[in-house]
A and B are shown apart, each in its own frame.
Chain A
Amino acid sequence: MNSLIRSTARCLRSGAAVYPPRQADGRVWSASARFLCASAGLQKDLGEMVKKDKVVVFMKGTPAQPMCGFSNAVVQILRMHGVDDYAAYNVLEDSELREGVKTFSNWPTIPQVYFSGEFVGGCDILLQMHQNGDLVEELKKLGISSALLEAEKESK
């Protein structure tokens, strides 16, 4: 599923680069203008990407093989709550995505977590939400019942 999602993300972005933007008189824009258009295209794609799924993570590596301790922490936390159906985008595969998402979120580091199109934060925030119980509540608002809540009910 993750590879399908990654390839979907690539298709959206390569679409912006395949057709060089043309000015009204048919002349092809300069390289810098094309870059700006591709970047603008990526920002628009990101706007769609973060809304397409309830939980979206921009990380280094994949949930199966994280390449960074902080990204791994996000994966582990989501796993503990039984959240395994989420979109995960590997920024190490695409430097444009890596920089683009930082601009989009106005957040300087990876990983980045989105819930229903809204930026939640990085590893530190997700960990604190997990520790103080807020994560269970936020997942509930998404219509996701945390596995930890289920485990607590069963133990009573």
Chain B
Amino acid sequence: MDNKEPQNKQKKKKNLGGLLPQPLMLPTVLRCVRPISTSLALSRPLAHFRPHMDPDPSRPIERSIRSKLTDALDPVHLEVHNESHMHAVPPGSESHFRVLVVSSQFEGLPLIKRHRLVNEALKKELSSCVHALSIQAKTPEQWRSDPSLAKSPPCMGGSRGDHTVEEKLKAGRE
């Protein structure tokens, strides 16, 4: 898949306020796993493009997530994707994230325990400004055999008018 295409689609999604027709949601989620190289995050300058005012260019939450996961899990590969633009939240929000963590600390651990390790590392963010966190937690061997990033399901607008999300957005701005 062309790297620019998903970005354009994401911009269109934003203009529609996060509501999309989604006739085949799950098959799309299952099929569209994009092969991704370790340098891809750096080679996609539009990944964090914010066309509107008010976003914090320093992306404090994203940096905090990256830093805490690095400290806690010593990953051999780490991706932190702000997916807030895919949801019914204002542009520039840092409320919805997807993380891909590849760490040998996951060896021998079932998925639930891996995810709990990630949740624990990001406890503060999750209790304050992060509303949704998608996690992929792989061992180095699993990453070598399947270096793909899963795709989040389309938003169904649940964040709009959600009091809890509004509080988290406010916490993120403060």
* A4-12, A13-21, A50-58, A70-78 - interface stretch: A70-78
Considering the chains assembled together, what is the distance between the CA atoms of A119 and B119 in angstroms? Answer: 15
Bound CA span A107–B162, Å? 19
Q: Say how far B102's CB is from chain A's closest CB, in angstroms.
A: 15
Q: Are B111 and A128 in touch, CB under 8 angstroms?
A: yes
* CB proximity of B133 to chain A, nearest CB, Å: 6
B22-30, B34-42, B63-71 - the one binding chain A:
B22-30
A127 is an interface residue with CB less than 8 A from chain B: yes
- C-alpha gap A127/B98 in the complex (Å): 15
Within 8 Å by CB of B154, from A67, A69, A119, A121, lies A69
Tell me whether B164 is interfacial, beta carbon within 8 Å.
Answer: yes
Is the CB–CB distance between B127 and A124 below 8 Å? no
Q: Would A131 and B133 count as touching, CB distance under 8 A?
A: no
A42 at the B interface (CB under 8 A): no
**Roughly how many angstroms separate A46 CA and B64 CA in the complex, as a whole number?**
33
**A70 x B29 contact (CB < 8 A):** no
The count of chain B contact residues (Cβ–Cβ below 8 Å) is 30
The one of A61, A73, A92 that contacts B153, using a Cβ cutoff of 8 Å: A73
**Given A98-B164, A124-B136, does the pair A67, B156 have CB atoms closer than 8 Å?**
yes
Contacts A72-B25, A108-B127, A127-B29 hold; do A120 and B112 have CB atoms under 8 A apart?
yes
Q: Is the CB of B153 within 8 A of A72?
A: yes
Known contacts: A69-B154, A73-B29, A127-B150. The answer to whether A119 contacts B112 by CB under 8 A is yes
Determine if B115 and A124 form an interchain contact, defined as CB atoms under 8 angstroms apart: yes
Q: Is the CB of A125 within 8 A of B115?
A: yes
A70 touches B157 (CB 8 A): no
**Those of B98-133 within 8 Å (CB) of chain A:** 111-112, 115-116, 119, 123, 126-127, 131-133
Q: Choose among B123, B135, B158, B164 the residue with the greatest number of A CB atoms under 10 Å from its CB.
A: B158
Which residues of chain A have C-beta atoms less than 8 A from B163's C-beta? 95
- Chain B residues near A67 (CB, 8 Å)? 156-158
Report chain A residues within 8 Å CB of B135: 124
Query: CB < 8 Å: which of A73, A121, A131 contacts B115?
Result: A121
CB distance from A116 to the nearest CB of B (A): 15
Q: Which residues of A contact B155 (CB under 8 A)?
A: 68-69
> Counting CB contacts under 8 A, is B152 at the interface?
yes
Contact between A68 and B29 (Cβ–Cβ < 8 Å)? no
Residue A80 lies at the interface, judged by CB distance under 8 Å to chain B = yes
Instruction: Tell me if A145 is interfacial: C-beta within 8 Å of chain B.
Output: no
Q: CB within 8 Å of B: which residues of A?
A: 60-61, 66-73, 76-77, 80, 92, 95, 98, 106-109, 119-125, 127-129, 131
Show 20 residue pairs from A and B whose CB-CB distance is below 8 angstroms, ordered by the A residue. A67-B156, A68-B155, A68-B158, A68-B159, A69-B152, A69-B154, A76-B25, A77-B26, A92-B158, A98-B164, A107-B116, A108-B126, A108-B127, A109-B131, A109-B133, A121-B111, A123-B134, A124-B111, A124-B115, A124-B134
